[in-house]
Each structure stands twice: as C-alpha cells, then as structure tokens.
A and B are shown apart, each in its own frame.
Chain A
Amino acid sequence: MKKNHYDFLLFAVTIALVLFGILMVYSASCYSAEVNYGNKYYFMYKQIIGAVLGFAAMIALSRIDYHLLDKFKYIILGVSLILLVLVFIPGIGIENYGAKRWINLPFFTLQVSELSKFGFIIFSAGYMAKNYKKMTSFLGILPVLCVGGVICLLIILEPNMSITICVMVLMFAMLFAGGARIKHFIIIAIPVVIAFIILILIEPYRLDRLMAFFDPWESPLEEGYQLIQSYYALGSGGFFGLGLFNSRQKYLFLTFAESDFIFSIIGEELGLFGCLLVMVTYCIMIYRCLKIARNSNDRFGCYLASGIAFIIAIQVLLNIAVVSGSIPPTGLPLPFVSAGSTSIIVFCAGMGIVESVCRLSHPSSELTYIKHFKKKEKKHRLNFEHKDKLSAE
C-alpha cells in the first residue's frame, strides 16, 4: 500500500496553474492597471492574495473529512442562496457593467455565483448519495432540478447568463453521474430550450451578442468588438507567440484581458503551443479528479469529486470556446488563471475537497466516515470498507 494518500500530481497542476495565472494576470493587466490605478501590480497583488487564501482553503479542506460537507449541505446551500439574494440589496451588492454580481466585503468583493456553484455541487452530491435509489425516477431527481433551477433563476436575475449556463450544464452532468435516466434528460431539455429562447427575446443585447458571434466584422465597434480583439490577440500568437509580456492587445484594446479573456493573451504571448500546454494541464486536472471520483469509497465523495471535475471542465471549455469565437461571447473566468479572488479561492477550495476525497478513499484510511452507516445499506458499501468494518468488529 502506498503511504501517500494525497494525489500530488493534482496538487502540482493546481499550484502550477495558479502560479501561471498570477504571471499571466500581471502580464495582461500591467498596462491597464498602470493607466487605471497608477500601479501596474494592482491586479497581480489581488491575485496573489486570492492565491494565498485559495491555497489555505485547499490545504484546510484537504485535511478535514469531506463528509463534514454532507452534514452541512443544507447550511451551505442556504448560505449560497441568501448570498445570491443579498446581491440585490442596495449597499451590499455592487453593480458593475450593468450586473449585480458582487458583495462588498471589507477586504475584497465576493462574486457570490462562484460560491453557489459549489454550494450546488455539495448539496446535490449529498442528496444523490442519500437518495441514490430514487434517482431513476423523475420525482427523485426533482429536488436537484428545483435547487438548480432556483440558483439559475437568481443568477440570471443578476444577470449573469454564463454562470447560469454553467450551473445548468453542471446540473445535468451531476444528474448523469448520479444515475438519472436518459429519457428524463430529454423531458427536461425541452422546457430549457424554450426558456433560453424567451431569455434571449427578453434581453435584446443577448441577441446582438449572438449575431456578433456569427459575424463580428459586421459591428467591429459595438457587439463584435471584443471578439475581434480576441481574434487579433490569438492571430498574433502563431505557433510560439510573441513571448511573455509582449502582448500588444493588452494595451487597452482587449478589455477584460486579465479576467475573462486571459486565454487570448496566453494565445498571443505563448502561441498555440502555450494554449496546448494549458489545455493539456486542465485535461490532466479533470482526469485526475474523475479518477479520484471513480476510486471514491462512497457515493458522496464520488459525486463531490466528479461535480468539481465537471465544473472545471465546463468552465474551461466554455471560456476557451468564447475566446476563440466558437460560441457566442459570454463572460466566464478561466478557473485558477483568470483574475478574480472569489474564483481562485473557491476553485482551490474545490481541489482541497477532491484531495480530501482522494485521501479518504484510500484502503488504509482509518478516518472512514461511519456515522451514517446503517445496516440495511451495508451490502452496497464498497468491499474493502466492508472488510475493514468486519475486521474492526
């Protein structure tokens, strides 16, 4: 038996991505920070603080038993929902770029939708683990759909279309992992498609963005602007890029260069090769998380790790798709890399949870959570756990 219970490769890629993120945030934002804040390290400092807090959260969470989260899943969900509502209260919520997404805290602003994604993962993992038998019926998956629907509704009211889509895709991915039946997905998909069409019709700017996606050169100064700037950045990169710090698009041409569009700057400075490396790193991370999920001792740990793997995959794929003009533009941070304290803290915390699942799923673990262990469920426990229990008895 191996002595190392942690997945050190996962730690390594997480730390590598966060450090790479700090570097790229500096490179992408040094000029705009100098112009707007008079300090070219402005965003980098914030990112470093976020990274320190994130690492702290990661280590802390990796050391505690993840089953604790199951215990507190309703509290976590409740706090997530309350925070989502608080955003709309003037004085607490901060409005930026026409959207209320942040809560003002003394030392930093909290983007609550980032938290709610994980709130949803913890809640649904807990629910599905407990009610795994009901998952094959529509009634059984309804609570997950309802909670997911309420979170989506609150986020779309901010409004934040992209996180809404994330949560929605995440919800389906988790239900899929949880064993929901395929025909139920099709039943749900129909109203969702209708809801999308209505949302687009309500807010015409979404349609404009959609059109801009089809031909950004039609409106190079309005809807198509950001996408064109992203193309320019990527197009300048070529195979190996212009070299670190040599982006030209960061000179205020590409807005959100340090956050949602940081991948454009990566493509510009490090080229297709750099993009490939980053994508491969994410793939390693996602596969490791899924592997940990598959090796998990119990359903909760399995769903938790797979949910975190899914949210990383969804956000990375959506972000790169937006940046490369493969889907209509929508603002979504690149996990671990984009500037944004909340994002980096919650994703690092997520990795901590996955590490905790990894550690506790090891056969030699002595900290197996047995409090909820009931006799009638015994036969569904994993074998080694069973044996472990028997030998203890």
Chain B
Amino acid sequence: MDIWSTLNDTFLDWGSMKEVLPEMLKVGLVNTLILAAASVVLGTVLGMIVAVLALSTKPWLRWPAKIYTDIFRGLPAILTILLIGQGLSPITRHWWGPNPYPLGILALSLIAAAYIGEIFRSGIQSIEKGQLEAARALGFSYTDGMRLVVIPQGVRRVLPALVNQFIALVKESSLVYFLGLLASQRELFRIGQDAAATNGNLSPLLLAGIFYLIITVPLTHLVNHFDKRLREGRPAEPEDVKLEELAHANH
C-alpha cells in the first residue's frame, strides 16, 4: 500500500490540518469573505453602471462601456490584479499606506464589473418591449420606466448567471495573494499554502479547498433554486382560473 500511504501523507495529515484550522477560521475565512463580499458589492454596482451605459442610445456613452468590457473581460485576471495592485500602489500609498487590500478589491471589482455588466445588459434586453411601453403609457418617464419596471425584471431573469459570477469572485479572491499580504491579511489559499510549505504536505491546502466549497456549494444550490423557479415559475392552475373567468363572464 505504498501509493495509499503516500497519498495519505500528502493529503490527509490530520495533524497539520488541525494545527492550521484556527488560523484558517479566524484569519483566512474572514479575509476571503471580506475580499469576496466587497468585490461582489462594488462589482455589482459598477456592473449595473456599465450595463446601463452599454444600453444607452448615445454612442459616446455606449462605446466607453463596450471598450471597458472588452478590456477587462479579455485580460487574464492575474495580469489585471498585478497591473492595478502593484501599478497603482505608489499613488495610493499616500492614502492608506502599502496595504494591498483596497487595490486588490478594486481590481477584482473591475474585472467582475465587465462580466456582471454583460449579464445585466442581456437580462435587461430580454425584457419584452411592451413592458417599457406600458410604463410610459401610464406616464412614467423613460428613466423611471427602466428603473421601476424593466431593470428589476431583467435582474431577476439573470440571477442564476449573477450568482455564478459571485462564485467566481470567491475563487478569484485567492489571486490577491500575488500582491503580497501581511500575516493578518492572508486569505484561505495563502494560509493553506504557507502551512503546506511549512509542513511539507498539501493537507492544509486541501483544508482550504474544503472551506472554499463550504462557501461556494451553497451558492451553487442557490443558482439551481433560482433556475428552477425561473423555468417553472409559481404553481398555477390555469384551468381553474379559466372556469372562474367563464362563470364571471356569464353573470
């Protein structure tokens, strides 16, 4: 059982897992959640702005949004993170010192905004023209019709794709490790990797992987739930409704 014991030593060294567990919980998990949550919020806000600009009838608003999307969707995430995280740090260190966190979050958000912008745009465009027409016929301005009627429906329709993007962000948050983190700033991956190097086996990284799954798997199920709800909708009994309608018509 040579292979088994090698695998066992590499991946299932309970001792080194137990040793790193408190730090993984108190430091790694917290930092990963902060990075992911902050870039989800900022990326969603920026993504909505990109989507609204991309849908504008004015070319001078539409084109910057399209170019932005092409660039940030087309570059490898790690390259963008390094360019922004390292490139801008001489400027931003005047404001918050050498802390790589804000720039890491900014880079993750800018990348996410390109994808999320496209998701929102496709959702908003998929809403039937009659919805805006009905809103306008009631007296809503174009802006209010979009804000109150079209965009809320578009967002609902793309919730599954949006949550998938959030899952990607949780995973991509590990890339900020390339910016160099203080011990207290390390996220799940970095803590797992450091402990793996110290212990000479990959068990701490496996533990980090388990933590990622604890975050992402429930999100995946949330996607499936939204998807099912969108496909099947709420249960209705059209035949009953029709009979009731007939009864009413005959009164």
Q: Is chain B found bound to chain A in the same assembly?
A: no
A positions within 8 Å CB-CB of B: none
B positions within 8 Å CB-CB of A: none
